[in-house]
A and B are shown apart, each in its own frame.
Chain A
C-alpha cells in the first residue's frame, strides 16, 4: 500500500473516534508543550543572567582581599596604592583600567523620603570599567575625587524612589548617613535584576567615602578592585600580572596569596552551568509528562486493537501480511503523537510568552526563547514516543491469528 493511502486510512480511523483521539493527543500536547516551554524558559533565564553579568562590564577581573581557600596570616587589605600599582601600564601591559571601590548600605534620604541604599565610593575610571553611562549631569570627576567633594551620582531607580521622578534631579541634595551630598549625575538605566538592582545605587567619590563614610582600620584601604583587561585574550595575562604585582607588594609567602581573583568569565561559566542544569532539570520533569502521554497512547492503541480484532482478522483473510497490520497501527499511533506534538508546539509558544509576560510584570524579565532545535527535538521526541509506545499494540495486532480474530466477538 502507498504511504499516502496508509496515512489517509489512519487519519480516517482516528477521526472515527474523535473524542478518544483528542483526549489521547492531549497527553502528548501537554507533554510536548511542557518540554518546549520549560526549555524556552530555561534558555530565557540563561540569556537574562548572562546579559546581566555581561552588563557589569567586559573582560573584568575582580580583586578582593583575603583567601577563601587557605588560612593566611595577617592578610593585608587592598589599598588605593595597590590599585595605582596595577594601573601602571609598564608593569601591567595587559591591564586597560583599574577601578577600586568601597561600599556599604547606608541610610539615604531626600526630603521626607528615606531608604537603605547601596553606596559605593568610586574613582572616575569606574564609569568605563563598570559599563556605567550617565543619563544626565556628569560622572564623578578627578577634581571631585581629589577634593573629597560631597557629590553623588545616583541610579535612575534611586532618583525615582527619593524624588518621585528620575529626570531633573541634578543639583538636588540628598543625605547619606545624615551628611548632605549634591546630586551631580544620574545613571542610565541598565534594567535587569538579580544581584541587587544595578539601577538603585548611589556612587560618591572614593576619597569622600574613605574619609567621611566608611572608616576602615587601614588608611586608604578599598574593598575591591575591578580590573579591566585590554581585550578578552589578555584576561589570563592580566590575571597573572595582578598576582605578580600584589604578591610583591604584600610580601606574601610563596604559594599563599592574601587576595582573591575572580574573572568575569568564571562567573559567567558558573552561571551558565547552573542555568544549564536548571534547563535540563525542568525539561526532564516536563519529559515525564510526555512519557505519561506516551503510555496514554499505548493504552488507547491496545483498546483499539481489541475493538478491531475482527477487522484485523478480515484484513488478514484477504491478504494482509504482518507488516501491513503493523504499519497500519504504528501509523495511527505516530500520527496521534505527531499531531499532538504539533499542537503542543503551538501551546508551548503561548505558554512561554505567557510566563515571560508574567515574569516581566513581576519585575524579573525573562525573555523565553524557543529555538528551532527545541522544536525539532520535541517533534522527533513525540514521534518516537508514538513509535515506542505504538510498537507493542501494533505487534499484538500483527500477530493475531486470522481464524481466532475472525471468531472474536
Chain B
C-alpha cells in the first residue's frame, strides 16, 4: 500500500457552549494515502467542516491522534501549527478568501513569503502556479476584477504554490454556478493527476462526489460509510 498522508485515530471535537457540550466529532478514524482523491459528504451539521479544520491543522482535536504526513500534530503550539500548514497544507475555501487589495500574483505569493522564500523565487513559483490554473494573463488583476471562477482559480494556485502534501477544499464550488463549479473540480482533479497532490474536499453534490474514487459519508460526527 502506498504511503499514508492523513492518519486520524478516534478524533473527537467538543465545543463548549456554556452549559452544553456540542460533540461535533465523536471519534473519526481515517487513513488517506498520498495522491488519493477523497470527497466528504454528509448532512448539514454532521461535522464536515470541523473535520476539515482538524485535518488542515487549523484546529486541534479535543481527543484522539492525528498524524499529517508523518508528523504528530495534537500537541503542537500555534506557531508550529502555522508552520505545518505552511509546508504541508493547501486550503481552498468556499468564499475564496483572497486579500481584496492585492493582485492575483501577490495573493499567490503569500504562503511563500511566510515560508521565507526569497522574493524572486517566490514570484517565479507564483507565476508558474497561476499559469497552471490558466490565469497567466491575469496576474495583475485584483479579486474584484476577476469572476468567481477565476478567483477560485487564484485560490487554487495559492494552495498549490507551496507544494503541499494535501489540498483541503471545503465546498470549493459552493459559491459558483454549476458550469464554473464543474471547471473548478476538473482543475483540481487535473492537478491531482499531474502533480499527485492528495485532494480532500467537501461537497453536497453527488455528481461531483461521483468524480472521485472514494467518498466518505459523515453523520452526527461519525463516519457512516467509507467508500474504500
Contacts and interface: CB of A to CB of B under 8 A. Distances in A.
Interface of A: 1-2, 5, 12-13, 16, 310-311, 313-324, 401-403, 406
Interface string B48-69: 0000010010110000000000
A322 B78 contact: yes
B58 A13 contact: no
A318 B160 CA distance: 11
B86 interface: yes
A65 to B, nearest CB: 81
A1 B93 contact: no
Contact of B58 (A317, A321, A324): A317
Given A317-B85, A318-B158, A402 B58 contact: yes
Given A315-B114, A319-B115, A401-B59, 18 more contacts: A1-B113, A1-B116, A2-B119, A12-B101, A314-B99, A316-B82, A317-B91, A318-B86, A318-B110, A318-B114, A319-B87, A319-B114, A321-B79, A321-B83, A321-B114, A323-B79, A402-B58, A403-B58
Contacts of A322: 78-79, 82
Given A5-B119, A311-B99, A324-B114, A318 B59 contact: no
Contacts of A5: 113, 119
A310 B97 CA distance: 8
B111 interface: yes
Contacts of A2: 119
B59 A403 contact: yes
Contacts of B158: 318
16 contacts: A2-B119, A310-B97, A314-B99, A315-B114, A316-B85, A317-B56, A317-B58, A317-B85, A318-B85, A320-B82, A321-B79, A322-B82, A324-B114, A402-B59, A403-B59, A406-B97
Interface string B172-188: 00000000000000000
A316 B158 CA distance: 14
A405 to B, nearest CB: 10
Chain B interface, >50% SS class: helix
A351 to B, nearest CB: 36
B83 A319 contact: yes
Interface in B93-128: 93, 97, 99, 101, 110-111, 113-116, 119
A406 B119 CA distance: 27
Contact of B97 (A314, A320, A321, A401): A314
Contacts of A406: 58, 93, 97
B85 A319 contact: yes
B132 to A, nearest CB: 18
Interface residues of B, number: 25
A50 B227 CA distance: 93
Nearest to B118: A2
B91 A318 contact: yes
A314 B95 CA distance: 11
A320 B114 contact: yes
A4 to B, nearest CB: 9
A144 to B, nearest CB: 86
A318 B111 contact: yes
Nearest to A313: B97
B162 to A, nearest CB: 8
Given A317-B85, A403-B59, A406-B93, A13 B115 contact: no
Which of A318, A323, A402 has the most chain B CB within a 10 Å cutoff?
A: A318
B82 A403 contact: no
Which of A311, A313, A402 has the most chain B CB within a 10 Å cutoff?
A: A402
Interface string B73-94: 0000011001101110001010
A258 B62 CA distance: 92
Contacts of B116: 1
A402 B158 CA distance: 17
B104 to A, nearest CB: 15
A361 B84 CA distance: 70
Given A2-B119, A322-B79, A403-B59, A315 B110 contact: yes
A12 B99 CA distance: 12
Contact of A319 (B59, B93, B97, B111): B111
A90 B119 CA distance: 85
A185 to B, nearest CB: 77
Contact of B82 (A1, A12, A314, A319): A319
Contacts of B99: 311, 314
A319 B119 contact: no
A311 B58 CA distance: 15
Contact of B86 (A12, A310, A319, A323): A319
B86 to A, nearest CB: 3
Contacts of B82: 316, 319-322
Contacts of A317: 56, 58, 85, 91, 97
Contacts of B119: 2, 5
A259 B101 CA distance: 81
Contacts of B79: 321-323
A110 B97 CA distance: 90
Q: 3 nearest interchain CB pairs?
A: A319-B86, A319-B114, A318-B111
B202 to A, nearest CB: 15
Nearest to B91: A317
Contacts of B56: 317
